[in-house]
Structure 1
């Protein structure tokens, strides 16, 4: 028998394949359960059985949408109409609506026949920008009180994201991880580059990322940012909102991975792959929240567009999920490398970074010690993540943030420089080069992996 992973969430509320993030958050609140499950399911097909799997869903009477029916495979779930499921062919995964799955007993006690194209069925989970990873992990670990109920903790956390749709900037201005531009240290201004770029040996590198497609799957990008004038940006949304970043997280990450070599005035250099091609996939909403299906749709898109470097500063708490592992393997098979944040909960690496096919990134402080918030365990490499200066949506233009979210685009940017060195520097070869060239640090591999990422 193939494996099956049962979910605890029922399908109360709107949990269709086309439901928006806000609708799924509302449905989760209506259920009142203590999980971060959405009520929908992810079906991972056996290796090479994607087309057979698509057919199998059809034979069960499902209306199935195919990402290949969308330009560039940029399949926005809200645009699949009345489909019961959507298939992401590049990664061999399908998303099935809660009602459609339950009607066919696909999310309960279903036993999967050994000759079925289906490998495993898993509950879909909510996903958050890594900036909020610590809060989600805490609530997940303390979701029950003395009476055996969650005391509203997880539900209130989800409610906060739902209500934040109309109050996005408040959460950012009064939240964690932000400092104003004028707090940038004088040494950084004198050196002409951020401390992160300097310790990664970026300024002396002769590489620029020219010709390398870098996909950053996040909250989108501030289209029209003056530091990126003239830079083509290929954008796609997977959350039913414009690619324009009203959050800041995505713009900050793109700035580190792909920002300019010489920003205007006295602004220090903060970007690594300054001539790379930017693919901005909005897989997180403007509140920094999302669901697994939207993230996987973005991963499918980035792989379909053969982006050698795919950066993901997002995640959730929990064990390894087969859908992300399949996506990571599909990336490697197609000459792409997915690089993801380990998480900020001071605990075990969360998903999707905990998948064996995805490179996990830990955060370092300026002392090159592991950041106190940085997750540990399954870690491949480390990068600067504390007090990282980078771009922000206008009119702010720049800001400083901390987290494994900020470490991840340092690795992605350096990966783009390495990928430029040879057309063969792709996939697993690129992964191994990043680790082999890393600066060794006096800490366990569980905390820093192979060490501090270095530019070529």
Structure 2
């Protein structure tokens, strides 16, 4: 069994099933380990899911199960032999990526009309708007009553037990704002949304405390695929040690998503402390088929916290504006207003996702073509590709 080194786990397990015969995989889990899992393909009730030993995300061919040590041993043996069970991994705990503020990094450009981030990626001069493109943001949810989104098409779904999609944290609302918020805020502040006419799909996969698990992310990805989302933005993850293998299960989920026309974009992580230490790209952004995003500041310098390519496992594919980023916020959170400036690769990721939606609208690109267009049109920077990948994302 693949065990993530040095990361927090939930005690449950992810099981990758043969995508050509998910039903056979379900039967095999029951045969070898006595595990009965309910499938999202069935019209099972919440009570039926709760009574089962786990759930199978049919679109992804992945099961999340509770298992005893003996059952895990049996599943692992089955994965090592030919058959419909391919991989078993411990389920990780994931968090919203946040970085400490830096008082010296205030924007040095005119933001009276548009944020520096919109200007840096060229969204403010692009004719594309994201109209007709479905963009999913999987995070802490969305402040549904935010006045900047009045009249917008926003579909919501919570994957956190006991919590509605309403964002009592703020991180998710900020990311949705950068990716698809308005070009003219109701408050009169600067416009901050890249794909300001995209159809927003807000999936709550992190709790109001900013934490969640692999299964919540997988549920959100399946929901996004089922709803025809062209882009999935994930400003979340878990730190990894250098040399830690990427998740084979998330890699397969990403390739299966790509086959259905859905590109997954994820934050590289904020664990670096430059110039002294560069941390590796975190989980799940370190998967080869997930577009990994680093962060730059207003001077197009790599952000001190941005994770980088340090070994052969994960790499930064592209960068976006991630320092001193102004966007929507949850007004109920500690009395903070409707907008806030924060930083992190979490902020860079929705800028890239928004540009992806613009390209998807303009060129009809999906999946691998969309990835290629993002990389080919990025602005090259005088920085190592290990830090910035193809460069700074640019709107079409």
Q: TM-score, normalised by structure 2?
A: 0.89
Q: CA deviation at 1:273?
A: 0.9
> Paired residue for 1:380, among 317, 325, 332?
317
Q: CA deviation at 1:35?
A: 4.8
Deviations along 1:162-207, whole A, 9 cap, x unmatched?
xxxxxxxxxxxxxx4499xxx97684333x1000110100111111
Deviations along 1:44-66, whole A, 9 cap, x unmatched?
12342323212222334322111
1:333 aligns with 2:255: no
Q: 1:82 to 1:260 in 2, by over 3 A?
A: same
Q: CA deviation at 1:107?
A: 7.3
Q: CA deviation at 1:104?
A: 2.1
Q: Which residue of 1 aligns with 2:326?
A: 389
1:6-405 to 2 correspondences below 5 Å? 6=3, 35-60=7-32, 61-69=34-42, 80-99=49-68, 102-106=69-73, 110=77, 112-131=79-98, 176-177=100-101, 187-190=109-112, 192-240=113-161, 241-318=163-240, 319=244, 320-346=246-272, 347-377=279-309, 378-394=315-331, 396-405=337-346
State the alpha-carbon separation in 2 of the partners of residues 6 and 310 from structure 1: 26
Paired residues of 2:19 and 2:60 also in contact (CA < 8 A): no
Query: 3-state SS of the aligned residue for 1:81?
Result: helix
Query: 3-state SS of the aligned residue for 2:192?
Result: coil
State the alpha-carbon separation in 2 of the partners of residues 268 and 415 from structure 1: 22
Q: CA deviation at 1:294?
A: 1.1
Segments of 5+ residues of structure 1 without an aligned counterpart are 9-33, 133-175
> Paired residue for 1:422, among 363, 369, 372?
363
Deviations along 1:238-283, whole A, 9 cap, x unmatched?
1111000000000000000010122135310100111111100000
Query: 3-state SS of the aligned residue for 1:297?
Result: helix
State the alpha-carbon separation in 2 of the partners of residues 296 and 188 from structure 1: 40
Paired residues of 1:177 and 1:400 also in contact (CA < 8 A): no
Paired residues of 1:107 and 1:122 also in contact (CA < 8 A): no
Aligned length: 374
Deviations along 1:129-169, whole A, 9 cap, x unmatched?
1117xxxxxxxxxxxxxxxxxxxxxxxxxxxxxxxxxxxxx
State the alpha-carbon separation in 2 of the partners of residues 279 and 325 from structure 1: 22
Paired residues of 1:7 and 1:108 also in contact (CA < 8 A): no
Paired residues of 1:6 and 1:108 also in contact (CA < 8 A): no
State the alpha-carbon separation in 2 of the partners of residues 277 and 178 from structure 1: 33
Query: 3-state SS of the aligned residue for 1:104?
Result: helix
Paired residues of 2:262 and 2:366 also in contact (CA < 8 A): yes
Q: Which residue of 2 aligns with 1:170?
A: none
Paired residues of 1:218 and 1:281 also in contact (CA < 8 A): yes
Q: Which residue of 2 aligns with 1:158?
A: none
State the alpha-carbon separation in 1 of the partners of residues 48 and 175 from structure 2: 27
Q: 1:116 to 1:259 in 2, by over 3 A?
A: same
State the alpha-carbon separation in 1 of the partners of residues 220 and 74 from structure 2: 24
Q: TM-score, normalised by structure 1?
A: 0.78
State the alpha-carbon separation in 2 of the partners of residues 7 and 186 from structure 1: 41
State the alpha-carbon separation in 1 of the partners of residues 4 and 262 from structure 2: 31
Q: 1:107 to 1:286 in 2, by over 3 A?
A: farther
State the alpha-carbon separation in 1 of the partners of residues 108 and 187 from structure 2: 15
Deviations along 1:312-354, whole A, 9 cap, x unmatched?
0000023301121111101110111000000000100011100
Segments of 5+ residues of structure 2 without an aligned counterpart are 273-278, 310-314
Q: 1:297 to 1:290 in 2, by over 3 A?
A: same
Paired residues of 1:188 and 1:268 also in contact (CA < 8 A): no
